[in-house]
A and B are shown apart, each in its own frame.
Chain A
Amino acid sequence: KNQVEQSPQSLIILEGKNCTLQCNYTVSPFSNLRWYKQDTGRGPVSLTIMTFSENTKSNGRYTATLDADTKQSSLHITASQLSDSASYICVVSATGGYNKLIFGAGTRLAVHP
């Protein structure tokens, strides 16, 4: 069964600190992996997308890594800001068909001053 699991479920950090969110997946055949940021009451917004051959990608203070062999990904946030408070969702796309996206449950990050 195609699944995406994220940890931790929730995280509280102080402003300015770094954090790392984890994603494990069992999706096959794998197409790509995305990290989305979802503010409360809003739709998800893409942060990064990585294909099988990519093992790291950055978008400002966000850096995503991918290990296709172990089927693990991480999202590292540096110098956190209050505006980083949101849910971060790992999404894996399977090849074929209609580009089915398998979503993780997300990690809810709270950045406190």
Chain B
Amino acid sequence: DTGVSQNPRHKITKRGQNVTFRCDPISEHNRLYWYRQTLGQGPEFLTYFQNEAQLEKSRLLSDRFSAERPKGSFSTLEIQRTEQGDSAMYLCASTLGPIGNEQFFGPGTRLTVL
């Protein structure tokens, strides 16, 4: 499967714990996006990378959230001191070429904070 992959698919954690998610984009895709989706809502933009550079962050991305893409390939999203409000589906998408090209989404990581 050469699509976008995300791990883990599901994560259950206790409030206050740290969690880290991984996204492997489609090979050679230079742009990578993170989104958060809560039940019954569309995805909301969190942050965007072009190669290894993080070019944009949403106000939704509090200081407890950090994302990296160290080698311009896979990316990680870490949430520190998780809160129950962090429970959501975290989606990763990647794209290649000019701005405006289709973003291909991964299956998401569903986070449940107890």
Contact = CB atoms under 8 A, between A and B. Distances in A.
B100 A31 contact: yes
B103 A101 contact: yes
Interface in A81-113: 89, 91, 93, 95-101, 103-106, 108
Given A98-B56, A101-B45, A43 B106 contact: yes
Q: How large is the interface on A (under 10, 10 to 19, 20 to 34, 35 or more residues)?
A: 20 to 34
A45 B105 contact: yes
Interface in B91-114: 91, 93, 95, 99-108, 110
A30 B31 CA distance: 21
Contact of B91 (A43, A95, A106): A43
Contacts of A34: 102
A95 B100 CA distance: 8
B45 A99 contact: no
Interface in A10-45: 31-32, 34, 36, 41-45
A41 B110 contact: yes
B85 interface: no
B4 interface: yes
Contact of A103 (B43, B55, B106, B108): B43
Query: Among the interface residues B48, B56, B103, B108, which one has the most CB atoms of the partner chain A within 10 A?
Result: B103
A49 B42 contact: no
Interface in B58-114: 91, 93, 95, 99-108, 110
A23 to B, nearest CB: 11
Given A99-B31, A99-B95, 7 more contacts: A4-B42, A41-B108, A42-B108, A43-B4, A43-B105, A46-B104, A106-B40
